[in-house]
Amino acid sequence: MKIKIIALGKIKEKFLKEGIDEFLKRLTPYTSVEILELQPIEIKDEHLTDKVLEQEGEKILSYIKPADYVITMEIKGKELSSEDFAKKIADITNDGTPELVFIIGSSCGLSPIVSNRADFKLSLSKMTFLHQFTRLILIEQIYRAFKILKNETYHK
């Protein structure tokens, strides 16, 4: 199964890029991971936030195929332990899904059209993280999930 992460915005901080690259390298024996960075639309008027989210949502959806399993990263999503997250990935893989797509929205969130497309809504924590941190944490948790599924040491 292939994994794609669709994220709005670019990673600017060198230490985050290095961390993400490290976990992408570690994931190579287990799966293929593609990160697709989309340019967020600048909101010049707060009254246009919903319209901008809708435009971003349409752009995001254009990169998703009907057979993809979509997990959106949402504040009100379900929190999972690392073990439960690993089981979720195993279940998706066992269902024969060709591609697992994670979506990280902009600082304004996700459009309802993207949230409605989600097969599962995931929250990393009740805490709020920078979107760049979310990407690093998500990739590390994907790596941890594969280590758990292979019964390899890393997760304790």
DSSP letters spanning 108-143: TB--HHHHHH-SEEEES-SS---HHHHHHHHHHHHH
Distance between CA atoms of 117 and 78, rounded to whole angstroms?
Answer: 16
Q: Given this model, what pLDDT does residue 110 score?
A: 92
Dihedral angle over CA of 28, 84, 117, 5, nearest 10? -20
Digit-coded pLDDT (tens) for 71-108 = 999 999 999 999 999 999 999 999 999 999 999 998 78
Strand 2-8 and strand 32-38: pairing? parallel
* pLDDT score of 156 more than 70: no
Q: Given this model, what pLDDT does residue 52 score?
A: 86
The better pLDDT of the pair 153, 17 is held by: 17
Q: Which CATH number fits domain 2-149: 3.20.20.70, 3.40.1280.10, 3.90.730.10, 3.10.20.30?
A: 3.40.1280.10
pTM of the model: 0.94
End-to-end CA distance of the chain: 25
> So where are the chain's domains?
2-149
Q: Given this model, what pLDDT does residue 135 score?
A: 95
Digit-coded pLDDT (tens) for 119-146 = 999 999 998 888 889 999 999 999 999 9
Q: Given this model, what pLDDT does residue 155 score?
A: 64
Digit-coded pLDDT (tens) for 26-56 = 999 999 999 999 998 777 777 788 888 899 9
Distance between CA atoms of 26 and 50, rounded to whole angstroms?
Answer: 38
